[in-house]
């Protein structure tokens, strides 16, 4: 096997470059305005999980944001695989990014695009350490509210993540691990970088709208059906979190993560049987290479 490179290799506008040689202009609209979209896919044991679904979501955002890319879907796919191969990462978090690029003038016409295209592969990360993955995290209800579809539809996987950073700061300063938004009507939306599920009397519930449509969320819904756990997409309030038998979040960064406390209320059965069953099914699927694209390492 080829040894890992001395420093990370990034894909930048058609080239594979070491991190130290990779450059983005300070005038890039992605930097100046957060004008761009991205997605994050993961590899485990040499297999990228649900790459096609991530590309579907990426290209939905490309069209919705009126962005342009020089790469076809197949070229993005090949570049994602090749970037991960060049970094010799069997277990990886892979971020691919498209911005509106460097404008022609100070006040630019956003229809005139010279895109910036970038792919960055890094070692796989978990959102929590082993203890918290086993015992659960502490979650709080944020004072902020999530975006509503009449402002910026949460389905845009856009570069502007200030809202996520602010609620993470809020939660960390308050001694919690993460925070969850309510929408403008007071219904549960999502966490800073995760979707959320509630278990009550053996049944799963998850917010139906006002959220990013997570690929891991969709996987949880598939796995729940496979193992015979009933799941409904519904409007949930903070009361439903407080009174839940189990609560967990899910994301590309680590799959299923149990919650043991929400805003000072202890969850009745943190990392309970439904959470464990979903988590076990998820990692069994990953280990089996299901929904996978081999890196050929």
149 and 116 within one domain: no
The pLDDT value given to residue 147 = 81
**pTM (2 d.p.):** 0.93
14 and 113 within one domain: yes
Q: How confident is the model at residue 105 (pLDDT cuts 50, 70, 90)?
A: confident
Q: Which residue would you say has higher pLDDT here, 159 or 95?
A: 95
269 and 159 within one domain: yes
- Segment 67-82 mean pLDDT: 97
Tally Cβ neighbours within 10 Å of residue 122. Answer: 13
Q: How confident is the model at residue 31 (pLDDT cuts 50, 70, 90)?
A: very high
Contact by Cβ (8 Å): 41, 49: yes
- Segment 272-284 mean pLDDT: 96
Within a domain: 296: no
CATH at 71: 3.30.470.10
Tally Cβ neighbours within 10 Å of residue 180. Answer: 27
Cα-Cα-Cα-Cα dihedral of 109, 25, 121, 297, to 10°?
Answer: 100
The pLDDT value given to residue 146 = 85
- 43: containing domain: 9-123
Within a domain: 4: no
161 and 101 within one domain: no
Question: Is 297 exposed, middle or buried, given 0-12, 13-18 or 19+ CB atoms closer than 10 A?
Answer: middle
Asked which of 47-56, 108-117, 182-191 is least confident by mean pLDDT, the reply is 108-117
Within a domain: 3: no
**What single DSSP character describes residue 231?**
E
- Number of folded domains in the chain? 2
Question: Residue 108: pLDDT above 60?
Answer: yes
The pLDDT value given to residue 49 = 97
DSSP characters over 71-121: S-HHHHHHHHHHHHHHTT-SSEEEEEEEE-BS-SSSS--TTS-B-EEEEEE
Asked which of 8-12, 52-56, 102-106, 122-126 is least confident by mean pLDDT, the reply is 102-106
CA 225 and chain centroid, separation: 22
Q: How confident is the model at residue 247 (pLDDT cuts 50, 70, 90)?
A: very high
The pLDDT value given to residue 109 = 83
Q: How confident is the model at residue 219 (pLDDT cuts 50, 70, 90)?
A: very high
Question: Is 248 exposed, middle or buried, given 0-12, 13-18 or 19+ CB atoms closer than 10 A?
Answer: buried
CATH at 196: 3.20.10.10
DSSP characters over 201-223: TTEEEEE-SSS---HHHHHHHHH
Alpha helix (H) ranges present in the chain?
A: 29-33, 51-64, 73-86, 130-135, 162-173, 215-226, 238-242, 273-287
112 and 134 within one domain: no
Chosen domain end from 123, 157, 185: 123
Cα–Cα distance, 221 to 57 (Å, whole number) = 17
Q: Which residue would you say has higher pLDDT here, 45 or 150?
A: 45
Which has the closest alpha carbon to 231: 222, 240, 242, 243?
222
Contact by Cβ (8 Å): 194, 244: no
Q: How far are the Cα atoms of 33, 58, 133, 294 from residue 100, in angstroms, in the given order?
A: 10, 14, 38, 31
Within a domain: 188: yes
Chosen domain end from 123, 146, 181: 123
Cα–Cα distance, 229 to 99 (Å, whole number) = 40
The pLDDT value given to residue 2 = 55
Q: What pLDDT digit, counting tens, does each position of 133-161 carry? A: 999 999 999 998 888 878 888 888 888 88
Average pLDDT, the chain: 94
Within a domain: 164: yes
Question: Residue 1: pLDDT above 50?
Answer: no
264 and 143 within one domain: yes
158 and 77 within one domain: no
At 50, phi and psi to the nearest 5?
A: 55, 45
Chosen domain end from 91, 123, 155: 123
234 and 183 within one domain: yes
Q: What pLDDT digit, counting tens, does each position of 161-209 carry? A: 888 999 999 999 999 999 999 999 999 999 999 999 999 999 999 999 8
Two tokens at 164?
Answer: 């996520």
The pLDDT value given to residue 112 = 86
113 and 76 within one domain: yes
Q: Which residue would you say has higher pLDDT here, 155 or 46?
A: 46
- Segment 66-71 mean pLDDT: 96
% of the chain beyond a pLDDT of 70: 99
Q: What pLDDT digit, counting tens, does each position of 76-88 carry? A: 999 999 999 999 9
195 and 105 within one domain: no
Within a domain: 297: no
Within a domain: 1: no
277 and 197 within one domain: yes
Within a domain: 185: yes
235 and 105 within one domain: no
């Amino acid at each position: 096997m080829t040894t890992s490179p001395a420093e990370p290799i990034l894909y930048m506008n058609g080239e594979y470059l070491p991190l130290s040689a990779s450059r983005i202009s300070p005038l890039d609209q992605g930097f100046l305005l957060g004008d761009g979209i991205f997605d994050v896919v993961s590899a485990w044991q040499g297999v990228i999980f649900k790459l096609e679904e991530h590309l579907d979501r990426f290209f939905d955002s490309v069209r919705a944001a009126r962005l342009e890319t020089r790469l076809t879907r197949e070229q993005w796919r090949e570049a994602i695989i090749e970037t991960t191969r060049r970094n010799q990462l069997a277990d990886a978090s892979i971020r691919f990014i498209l911005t509106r690029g460097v404008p022609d003038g100070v006040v630019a016409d956003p229809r005139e695009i010279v895109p910036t295209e970038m792919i960055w592969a890094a070692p796989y990360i978990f959102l929590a350490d082993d203890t918290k993955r086993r015992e659960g995290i502490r979650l709080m209800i944020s004072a902020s509210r999530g975006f509503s579809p009449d402002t910026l539809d949460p389905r845009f996987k856009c570069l502007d993540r200030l809202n996520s950073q602010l609620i993470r700061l809020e939660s960390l300063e308050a001694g919690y691990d993460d925070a969850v938004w309510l929408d403008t009507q007071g219904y549960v939306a999502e966490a800073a970088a995760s979707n959320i599920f509630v278990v009550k009397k053996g049944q799963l519930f998850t917010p139906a709208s006002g959220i990013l449509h997570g690929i891991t969320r969709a996987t949880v819904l598939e796995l729940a059906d496979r193992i015979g756990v009933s799941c409904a997409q519904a409007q949930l309030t903070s009361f439903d979190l407080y009174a839940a038998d189990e609560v967990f979040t899910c994301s590309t960064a680590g799959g299923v993560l149990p919650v043991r406390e929400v805003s000072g209320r202890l969850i009745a059965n943190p990392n309970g049987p439904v959470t464990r069953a979903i988590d076990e099914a998820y990692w069994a699927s990953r280990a089996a290479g299901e929904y996978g694209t081999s890196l050929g390492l």
